Amino acid sequence: MNLHLFLLSNIILVSGFFVTPRENFCRRQGLQGYVYLVSGNQMPSPDRPASKPKGLQTTLYIYRLTSLSDVVRQGESAFYSGISTELVKAVKTDKNGHFKTKLKPGMYSLFLKKDDLFFSSVFDEKNNICPVEVKRGKMTEVVFNANYNAVY
């Protein structure tokens, strides 16, 4: 009887050991960061220090990796009326612009909305729009600048 109890307690102990790290792993994998509203004159000047961006309370839209060929672009702007890739998640930011969300490993594109249009102004060399990578077991830090009212 004592041998059965000993074996059973070891099985429970070992099973619990393997479950806990997986749960912690999922909590630490995804994206976190800030969305900032950048507006006005952003040209460097010795007479004026750079202004600190203000956190933006908004919704950040996370799509599968999206290129310019996957969107309906408004002229040559950074605004889009349609996105043909899969929407993975929509995440609300707090009043400081902070967000945090779990995601599976992979490549994603980030957008936000201004009125009825999507916005994202960053591209890579392959014309992917605001690409970010989530790696297994890692929280990727992101800063998204909503600079649609900024002048550079």
CATH number for 45: 2.60.40.10
User: Residue 119 contacts by C-beta under 8 Å, 6 or more apart in sequence?
Assistant: 78, 79, 80, 111, 112, 113, 146, 148
pLDDT at position 97: 97
pLDDT at position 41: 59
pTM: 0.77
* Full domain range(s) for residue 80: 2-151
Distance linking the first and last C-alpha atoms of the chain: 78
pLDDT at position 52: 75
pLDDT at position 82: 97
Phi, psi of 143 (to 5 degrees): -125, 120
Q: What is residue 76's three-state secondary structure? A: coil
In order along its 152 residues, the chain shows pLDDT tens digits of 544 444 444 443 333 434 334 434 445 899 999 999 887 656 666 776 666 778 999 999 999 999 999 999 999 999 999 999 999 999 999 999 999 999 999 999 999 999 999 999 999 999 999 999 999 999 999 999 998 775 55
What residue type is 85 in one-letter code?
T
Q: What is the 3-state secondary structure (H, E, C) of 100-140?
A: EEECCCEEEEEEEEECCEEECCCECCCCEECEEEECCCCEE
Per DSSP, helices labelled H in the chain are 2-27
* Domains in the chain, number: 1
Nearest CA among 140, 134, 85, 93 for reference residue 112: 93
Torsion sign, CA atoms 120, 121, 126, 131: negative
How many Cα atoms within 13 Å fall on the side-chain side of residue 63?
Answer: 21
